[in-house]
Amino acid sequence: MSILYLCGILSTFQICLLPGLIIIKLLKMNGGLLKTIILSFALSLIANHFMVITLVAFKIYLSSTIYAIFLLEVILFMIIYRHTFVKPFKIIFKNEASMILENLSKLRLNNLTFNIINCVICLISITTLLYYLYQIYNNWGSVFSLWDAVVSWNRWALDWYSNKFPIITWHYPQLLPINWSISYVFMGDSTIKLFAKGVSSFFPFFILLAIFDLALRLKQTGYFIGLTATGTLFYSITQISLIMFDGYAEAPIAFMSFTPIYVLLFLSATIYTKKEIANYLKLGAVLSAGSALTKQAGIFVAIIYPLISYYSVLKNNTDFNSKEKIKNIISSCAIIFLLIVPWYIYKQIEINKGIDESELNTVLLIVHKGRTFIERFIWAIKILEKDTTLGIFGAYCLIPITIIFSFFDRQWRIINLILLLPYFAIWAFFYSYDIRNMAIIIPIIGISMGVGIENIAAKRNIFIEVYRKIISVKLFYIFIGIVFFLLSYCLQTDDVKVVNQQIELQKKILDPELNKALYDYHEKFKFKGKIVTGYQILGFLPELDKYYVQDYFCNLELLKRKIRKYNARYLLQRIEHIDPSIMQYIDKKVSKNQFEIISKPYGVYLLIEIKGEID
């Protein structure tokens, strides 16, 4: 039996559901299975973030502490959900069942063509949702393999796992790596990365699940179209499709940024009391703060959330007087401020003291390569076609036209004017060096397209949903079945097998051919000392990480100092990234037989053995 695998599964529940389910129940915000799961996922991530920071601050972020907290949560969960477990599943699913029946009642029995079209739209959207669910299964068991996930996000997670605040994070917030670290603390081992990596693959699916829930609640075909459009956009943007399941922050920030909008949209779909609306607006503020704690781009969502909440929910609501509306806005602002400001102040203090560095100069100026603001905007428009599979028609016609037609919907007119268009402008002028920075507005673009297409067709609130009879199975038996399945799986797996599998996968991250060449050389000759290299992945390769010394090969004197300091015996760097002065120095040393070029079977990398003294 694999104890590590069982601990990993338990950690996944802690990361994704348990804290959130407790919070939702205590705040009496459960109302629909899908809504409960979606909000629990987001709230669990936020709750874990603050829990881990607190534990690390007191140096008690240990397996024993986490086990104790988890046990208390399980006990509390069983107490507050004790009545839910004895209910038939159809009662748990009654909100969704009711919404499906309401949608069925909207069918036009005398218009077969119309019904077929809506049926096809609905089935395509469900297929898209199921495809992203399949991607969770497809990516389960793998390890982080791409650059940022390995050398930044997971490196920070390993620092948290070591019961210390991470170093060299710039201004990057830590919600994502903190939650990954929980899986390592549960297992007491950071070798197995499949659970941390697995959690990363949940985010795209949960975005689409939230859109699906809105489609049911709002009874608008446009949201089904928007679900498919969002799923398509994620895959059509090449730089996002390559990394959205590998541990980059683009899918998480898109999910966390969409959840406060999701809350505001479902508020418009159901009649709530004044107190419930006020509570949900506060929940939206917490979620928008969670966005800013996931990646810096989320700060924009946190800033504009009070404005959107006012215009979309409060402004025309006669239940609230002017004083109460202002009070709700101030409450939202206060929640957002209190949750996000401490981290950014802490990081700025470290930067001011020289403990850490700021990324702002790099991302705002250097990466733009001297482009003016006009040139940056032109560049942004070009890469919408260049770095996507949308083509000229998709990038310059379909998306803009459908978004324009979404303005006929009041809610989406507000969202587009306050969120979509301003963020697009900020991206175009400041962050268009990478199309991935558009991630947080992809769900907004997708739904806007769907609503716009529905408005163009002028056929609102009608679609078909294939409704299947809900089997009256008590939730308790489903729970027992899941537990039995998970325990059976753990019994078939052993720790050694899981660890060895993860190690072998870790050896193949980013550049498998280069890694294999390095491992082959090490197996045959054994590295005799440190390797100075710009290939940062070396620091994360099992067995070879102990040889890693980082250098960018831009400064000859700095390179010499590092060789002397670490008594390095090898150099490894991309040939085109070696400064000409360093290349001349290498050639000189090679001519004197003090350096030996081992070989060049490493693609664009050069491996050199140092045999003589460094002058």
Per-residue pLDDT tens over the stretch 327-344: 999 999 999 999 999 999
Tell me the sheet residues that pair with 610: 595
DSSP string for 130-146: HHHHHHHHHHTT----S
| Phi/psi of residue 423, nearest 5 degrees | -70, -40
Q: Give the strand pairing for 548-550 and 605-610.
A: unpaired
| Phi/psi of residue 88, nearest 5 degrees | -65, 150
Mutual angle of helices 495-506 and 3-16, in 10-degree steps: 70
Cα(465)–Cα(107) distance, integer angstroms: 10
- Cβ atoms of 211 and 190 within 8 Å: the answer is no
How buried is 164 (Cβ within 10 angstroms: 0-12 exposed, 13-18 middle, 19+ buried)?
Answer: exposed
So what's the pLDDT on residue 369?
Answer: 76
Domain boundaries, the chain: 1-86+141-186+474-506, 509-610
Amino acid at 412: W
Which residue in 508, 502, 409, 391 sits closest to 455, CA to CA? Answer: 409
| Per-residue CA distances from 252 to 175, 298, 426, 567 (Å) | 10, 10, 20, 42
Cβ count within 10 A of residue 359: 14
Q: What is the largest CA-CA distance in the chain?
A: 90
| Per-residue CA distances from 438 to 306, 340, 420, 434 (Å) | 22, 21, 10, 8
| Phi/psi of residue 62, nearest 5 degrees | -125, 160
> Which residues of the chain are under the pLDDT cut of 50?
107, 109, 459-472, 601
How buried is 358 (Cβ within 10 angstroms: 0-12 exposed, 13-18 middle, 19+ buried)?
Answer: middle
Tell me the sheet residues that pair with 596: 609
Half-sphere exposure of residue 208: CA atoms within 13 angstroms, side-chain side = 25
CA 97 to chain centre: 30
- Cβ atoms of 514 and 602 within 8 Å: the answer is yes
HEC states along 352-369?
Answer: HCCCCCCCHHHHHCHHHC
Beta strand ranges found along 149-232 (DSSP E) = none
Buried b (16+ CB within 10 A) or exposed e, 39-78: bbbbbbbbbbbebbbebbeeeebeeeebeebbeebeebbe
| Per-residue CA distances from 46 to 43, 49, 70, 506 (Å) | 5, 5, 16, 29
So what's the pLDDT on residue 376?
Answer: 87
Which residue in 419, 182, 147, 159 sits closest to 298, CA to CA? Answer: 419
So what's the pLDDT on residue 466?
Answer: 31
CA 507 to chain centre: 24
| Per-residue CA distances from 532 to 115, 578, 608 (Å) | 65, 12, 10
Which residue in 186, 222, 164 sits closest to 8, CA to CA? Answer: 186
DSSP 371: -
Which residue in 153, 175, 155, 171 sits closest to 248, CA to CA? Answer: 153
Cα(45)–Cα(36) distance, integer angstroms: 14
Q: How many residues belong to the chain?
A: 615
CA 367 to chain centre: 23
| Per-residue CA distances from 217 to 35, 99, 303, 460 (Å) | 10, 6, 27, 14
Structure tokens at 593: 């037989």
Q: Give the strand pairing for 531-533 and 548-550.
A: parallel
How buried is 352 (Cβ within 10 angstroms: 0-12 exposed, 13-18 middle, 19+ buried)?
Answer: exposed
Radius of gyration of the chain (CA): 26
Contacts of 141 (CB under 8 A, 6+ apart): 194, 198, 501
DSSP 311: I
Cα(121)–Cα(225) distance, integer angstroms: 7
Q: Give the strand pairing for 605-610 and 595-602.
A: antiparallel
How buried is 599 (Cβ within 10 angstroms: 0-12 exposed, 13-18 middle, 19+ buried)?
Answer: exposed
